[in-house]
Amino acid sequence: MAEFSIKSVSTIRTLIQWCFFAWVVGIGIRFGIFVNAVESGAATSWVSRPPGVEGFLPIGALTSLKYWLLNGRIHPVHPAALVIFLAILLMSLLARKSFCSWLCPVGTLSEAAYTLGRKLFGRNFRIWSWLDITLRGVKYLLLLLFVKIILLDMSAEALAGFLDAPYWAISDVKMLHFFTRMSVGTMVVLAVLTFLSLLYRNFWCRYLCPYGALLGLISFTSPFKVRRDAVGCTGCQRCSAACPSSLAVHASRAVSSPECTGCLTCVAHCPERNVLAMQPCFRKRPVPVWLFPAVVVLTFSVGIGVGMVSGHWHSSLSYADYQQLIPLVPYLSH
């Protein structure tokens, strides 16, 4: 049987990223059609509401997580938000911050942006290291803020009040409007972020994304790490030059950084055989290169599948509920 090479894993990763991206766009379009039907006064929609749209509600998912932990039941309004959130947390527990480099649509766009930027400007730029370290702290501060406000400060009554309120019920519609009815301020911020993403690798993910910060911290538990065999290593530093997270792979026996997204780019750029590999801690001998991608895809799929079969996927809201709630959107936006 032909050997499954690390180069083919890189190609498969790109394929998975763009297939997932297309799937997410498809969900957005379907939800747009659904909302449009309600807004235009149609008696029904020819497409059902896609629960996957709740993947765009991570703050609500965090609230839902605490509600679940306190009450032992999943709030029925947007259960898929929690299911998707838990599936992604599980990915980080097992397979580093792999959601960022294998599935996240923002990560995919970031990667496309810096690849394009490299073509346009001949290279990607690097921020001074003192500023880079300072800026990397911003995403952890944002994460701390959400953890304090939601996980630490919100009482059981406040949680139920938030999740039972119309604001949470139509947060998916407000998220859709964020993209389809973009304000000038939002457009300017997105344009600035896009420009910075062309210049610097993964600008948003590296400095500003609190979701990525959380996944990075959880990834400390992952048994998988990029491990380097110091004996066979020639010190060429191609791995470090290729790493989108600018990690010093060539100087590490095992990459433990919370910034490692498990993209395997370093492994694909190592010219030496069996020197650099994504290896689980419980096995000393090399594992097949398909193992890590298989863990990534299976963990996400199983997580979502469990949510679906256990009846925690579809929202309790009906089309009629949306007919009542959507006219309230302008009054609940601020």
Q: DSSP code of 83?
A: H
Indicate whether 213 belongs to the interface with ligand SF4 (CB under 6 A).
no
| CB 197 within 8 Å of CB 203 | yes
Residue 54 or 111: which CB sits closer to ligand SF4? 111
Q: How far apart are the C-alpha atoms of 100 and 115, rounded to whole Å?
A: 16
Among 24, 62, 247, 304, binds ligand SF4 (CB under 6 A): 247
The closest alpha carbon to 218, from 298, 123, 98, 68, belongs to: 98
Q: Three-state DSSP class for 254?
A: strand
- What's the min distance (Å) between Cβ of 83 and ligand SF4? 27
Among 61, 77, 154, 239, binds ligand SF4 (CB under 6 A): 239
Among 237, 256, 323, 324, binds ligand SF4 (CB under 6 A): 237
- What's the min distance (Å) between Cβ of 144 and ligand SF4? 23
Residue 123 or 314: which CB sits closer to ligand SF4? 123
Q: State how far Cα 319 lies from the chain centre.
A: 29
The H or E element spanning position 225 is strand 224-228
Counting residues that bind ligand SF4 (by CB under 6 A) gives: 28
Residue 60 or 117: which CB sits closer to ligand SF4? 117
Q: What phi and psi, each to the nearest 5 degrees, are found at residue 280? A: -75, 150
- What's the min distance (Å) between Cβ of 330 and ligand SF4? 43
Indicate whether 57 belongs to the interface with ligand SF4 (CB under 6 A).
no
Among 95, 113, 226, 277, binds ligand SF4 (CB under 6 A): 226
- What's the min distance (Å) between Cβ of 324 and ligand SF4? 46
Indicate whether 14 belongs to the interface with ligand SF4 (CB under 6 A).
no
Indicate whether 255 belongs to the interface with ligand SF4 (CB under 6 A).
yes
Among 249, 277, 296, 304, binds ligand SF4 (CB under 6 A): 249
| Span of 31-39, 258-266, 282-290, 317-325 interacting with ligand SF4 by CB under 6 A | 258-266
Among 12, 93, 146, 272, binds ligand SF4 (CB under 6 A): 272
DSSP 45-82: -SSPPPGGGGGG-HHHHHHHHHHHHHHSS--SSSHHHH
- What's the min distance (Å) between Cβ of 201 and ligand SF4? 10
Q: Which two tokens stand for residue 287?
A: 């594992």
Indicate whether 287 belongs to the interface with ligand SF4 (CB under 6 A).
no
Residue 225, exposed/middle/buried by CB under 10 A (0-12, 13-18, 19+)? Answer: buried
Among 13, 49, 227, 228, binds ligand SF4 (CB under 6 A): 228
The closest alpha carbon to 117, from 63, 220, 194, 209, belongs to: 194
Indicate whether 6 belongs to the interface with ligand SF4 (CB under 6 A).
no
Indicate whether 238 belongs to the interface with ligand SF4 (CB under 6 A).
yes
> Residue 306, Cβ neighbours under 10 Å: how many?
15
What's the sign of the alpha-carbon dihedral 268, 270, 273, 274?
negative
- Any residues with CB less than 8 A from the CB of 35 and at least 6 apart, and which? 173, 176, 322, 326
Indicate whether 299 belongs to the interface with ligand SF4 (CB under 6 A).
no
Q: How far apart are the C-alpha atoms of 6 and 277, rounded to whole Å?
A: 9
| Span of 85-93, 119-127, 199-207, 229-237 interacting with ligand SF4 by CB under 6 A | 229-237
List contacts with ligand SF4 (CB under 6 A): 226, 228, 233-239, 243-245, 247, 249-250, 255, 260-266, 269-270, 272, 275-276
